Amino acid sequence: MSKVALLIIDVQKDPARKSKLPEKIAALQAKYKHIFVSQFQNKKSPILKLVKWAGYQDDNLAFTPAPHAVVFRKTGYSAYLLEMSAFDEIHLCGCYTDCCIYKTAMDLIEKGIRPVVLKDYCFSRNKRCHNMGLQLLAHNIGTRNIR
């Protein structure tokens, strides 16, 4: 039996403000014993300067993490943490499918951890970017790892 965790990536107020994603993810947490929650930090990220992106206007989480969740801040695309190496499989959800979800899935697979993307619990700035992210994920981590 494999050891499984849920990784919720950057479900913050600005990107999720017009989405039902925060409510869906809040409910999803009840199914997992081990949960990681990342929060992208605008002000410390080199991405803003290099990509010339303004960042999130409100970078607070858009849902309440489960009491047993490990909440951490990140300044890059990947949400991989060394502590995740204790797991055989990590289920990914959150923002953005074509960016942070993709990069994290690729990092997990390179560490020998099976990434499972929960496609109905992910989104991007628009449907086109979300679908492109899913296509690249299917190609690089396999369609069986997208649910």
CATH number at residue 109: 3.40.50.850
The token duo for 138 is 């299917």
Interatomic CA distance for residues 32 and 118, integer angstroms: 13
- Note down the domain range covering 62: 4-145
Residue with tokens 């960016």: 99
The pLDDT value given to residue 58? 78
The pLDDT value given to residue 11? 95
> 60: helix, coil or strand?
coil
Burial classification of residue 147, based on how many CB atoms lie within 10 Å of its CB (0-12 exposed, 13-18 middle, 19 or more buried): exposed
Residue with tokens 């970017």: 129
Number of domains into which the chain is organized: 1
Would you mind telling me the total number of residues written for the chain in this entry?
A: 147
The pLDDT value given to residue 43? 75
The token duo for 124 is 């991007």
Choose among 112, 103, 109: nearest CA to 74.
Answer: 103
| Residues with Cβ within 8 Å of residue 142, at least 6 apart in sequence | none
Choose among 1, 4, 3, 7: nearest CA to 79.
Answer: 7
The pLDDT value given to residue 106? 98
Confidence (pTM): 0.94
The pLDDT value given to residue 105? 98
Q: Walk along the chain (147 residues) and give the pLDDT tens digit of each residue.
A: 579 999 999 999 887 777 889 999 999 999 999 999 999 987 777 777 787 777 777 789 999 999 999 999 999 999 999 999 999 999 999 999 999 999 999 999 999 999 999 999 999 988 999 999 999 999 999 999 999
The DSSP call for residue 12 is B
The pLDDT value given to residue 57? 74
Residue ranges of alpha helices (H) inside the chain are 13-16, 21-28, 46-51, 102-110, 127-141
Choose among 21, 32, 31: nearest CA to 70.
Answer: 32
